[in-house]
Amino acid sequence: MPGFIGAIFKVITDEAEKHTTIDKTDIIKMVIETMYGTGKLLFEKNMTFDNLINRVATKGGITEERTKILEERLPETVNKIFERTLKKRKITTEKVQDGYNRLI
């Protein structure tokens, strides 16, 4: 999961750089600090993701708009990720099993 999460936030920082004059190093630092603070809040307050979103997404605000887009478009991408991961896992498992069978 760390690689998966890292890839998501790399895309976010790469795209953010295209829409601002903020230095890439500062963008990355802000994203990391946000990730840390979000994880800490979720953990320490024992919050669900829905609780967190409702707590920080002002009705009609920027965060609400962002979450709407993610809810509309991200599931398709995540579904493709899981499909491809499971396919790769099956291939890898079959190769391992085949190798094991040859040893027996």
Side-chain half-sphere exposure of 5, counting CA atoms within 13 A: 7
User: For residue 99, is it within any domain?
Assistant: no
Question: In terms of residue numbers, what domain contains 9?
Answer: 1-56
Render pLDDT for 45-93 as a digit per residue (tens, 0 to 9): 999 999 999 999 999 999 999 999 999 999 999 999 999 999 999 999 9
Is position 80 within any domain?
no
- Mapped onto helix, strand or coil, the DSSP state of residue 37 is helix
Q: How far apart are CA 43 and CA 37, in angstroms?
A: 10
Q: How confident is the model at residue 95 (pLDDT cuts 50, 70, 90)?
A: confident
Taking the model in full, what pTM does it have?
A: 0.75
Domain assignment present for residue 104? The answer is no
Count Cα neighbours of 98 within 13 Å in the Cβ-side half-sphere: 6
Q: Is 18 within the bounds of a domain?
A: yes
Look at residue 85 and tell me if it is in a domain.
Answer: no
Does residue 3 belong to any structural domain of this protein?
Answer: yes
Question: Could you give the CA distance from residue 82 to residue 1 in angstroms, rounded to a whole number?
Answer: 12
Q: How many domains does the chain have?
A: 1
62 within some domain: no
Could you report the per-residue pLDDT of 30-54, keeping only the tens digit for each? 999 999 999 999 999 999 999 999 9
Residue 36: inside a domain, yes or no? yes
